[in-house]
Structure 1
Amino acid sequence: MTATPISDTSARQAFRDAMATVASPVAVVTAMDGRRPHGTTVSAFASLSLAPPMVLVSLDNRSHLLAIIRRTGRFGLNVLTSHQFDLATAFARSGEDKFEGIPWSPSEDLPRLPGSVAWIAAEVDDCVTGGDHTVLLARAVTAERGAGSPSPLTYHQRSFGTHTPLVT
């Protein structure tokens, strides 16, 4: 069997289709530009290390938010619940006024969205360019689990959903 090079348009689509089979958690990455909050929806983030506590987040190289984070060296990670798909959609769109009409509060001087399943404030240690994205490697300075045990928001097969535990 001969593999088609990923640089081919049909192979890139095949790659996108293959990656759509992977369920990913959904979060809104936030930062402050002076007194103005900024944010964007991501599904490419993960725990990286426990000692020290670190996360990784991937942002598009053209992202205005990435430029702000590179300048400030900090970001917030709001891990969304299954009931917050409207926030995921709002922060996934283009534009600079994504916070218009969205309640938030400062936490560690970063924009925090209420009701998230988890909140992490992080300081960037390193930025690694990978293709059309940059991976931020960051130390968690604050980490909090949300109240109760809400289901996380996931993205799978190009749709929002949630995790359902298997009964064993």
Structure 2
Amino acid sequence: MTNRTVDPLEVIFRDAMAHVCTPVAVITALDGERPHGTTVSAFMSLSMTPPMVLIALDDRSDLLELIRATGRFAVNVLNSEQGDLAVSFAKKGPSKFDGVEWSRVRALPRIEDCPVWIACVAEELVSGGDHTIVTGSVEAVETRASSPLTYHDRTFGTHAISESRLEESA
């Protein structure tokens, strides 16, 4: 095992990114009948015309290899009550779906109670440091009313409407 010297800029950058609020999603795919998934906070809409998303996966991710092989993935945006799922799917191992309610929709895993589910076809995979950026063309979307799970300052939370926005709506 080699000890890598940590660049001070990496430490400062990691701390700075902790102050950026991000949505929390589980990216899923099927390997035959077996579902796979991993938690990400690097997810965003990329284009409205045509509808596309962008995700980033660690280069060592088993899910990344499955997406390379199948060319498809789903984005399951977690709700504010699903922090435990975010933690479970962030770990390595084959049993992430044990006890998780999910269904097969358009040949992709859809985790129950997620406010947003997006089925995608992988378009481009681009190297980005120690991650691979995957762009996906959206082929289906499902939404349900629910507050999203967010990640900020290394903790889970959810979005709240600001006072100024409340005053504008009144």
Name the TM-score, length of structure 1 as normaliser: 0.92
| Residue in structure 1 matching 2:149, options 129, 147, 153 | 153
- Deviations along 1:72-110, one digit per CA (max 9) or x if unpaired, are 000010001101111111101111211111111001111
Q: What count of residue pairs does the alignment treat as equivalent?
A: 160
Q: How many angstroms does 1:8 deviate by?
A: 5.6
C-alpha distance in structure 2 between counterparts of 1:52 and 1:15, whole Å? 33
> Is 1:120 aligned to residue 111 of structure 2?
no
Specify the alignment match of 1:4 in structure 2.
Answer: none
C-alpha distance in structure 1 between counterparts of 2:13 and 2:36, whole Å? 30
- Deviations along 1:106-158, one digit per CA (max 9) or x if unpaired, are 01111100110101000011111100000101100001211x2x211000011
| Residue in structure 2 matching 1:137, options 124, 128, 135 | 135
Structure 2: any 5+ residue segments left out of the alignment? none
C-alpha distance in structure 1 between counterparts of 2:99 and 2:7, whole Å? 39
Name the TM-score, length of structure 2 as normaliser: 0.91
| Residue in structure 2 matching 1:74, options 63, 72, 75 | 72
C-alpha distance in structure 1 between counterparts of 2:44 and 2:32, whole Å? 27
| Residue in structure 1 matching 2:105, options 104, 107, 124 | 107
Letter in 2 for 1:114: E
| Structure 1: 4+ residue segments shifted above 2 A | none
Tell me the percent identity.
53
C-alpha distance in structure 2 between counterparts of 1:155 and 1:120, whole Å? 20
Q: How many angstroms does 1:9 deviate by?
A: 2.1
Specify the alignment match of 2:161 in structure 1.
Answer: 165
C-alpha distance in structure 2 between counterparts of 1:104 and 1:144, whole Å? 14
C-alpha distance in structure 2 between counterparts of 1:109 and 1:17, whole Å? 38
| Residue in structure 2 matching 1:34, options 26, 29, 32 | 32
C-alpha distance in structure 1 between counterparts of 2:98 and 2:147, whole Å? 26
Structure 1: any 5+ residue segments left out of the alignment? 1-6
C-alpha distance in structure 2 between counterparts of 1:11 and 1:69, whole Å? 31
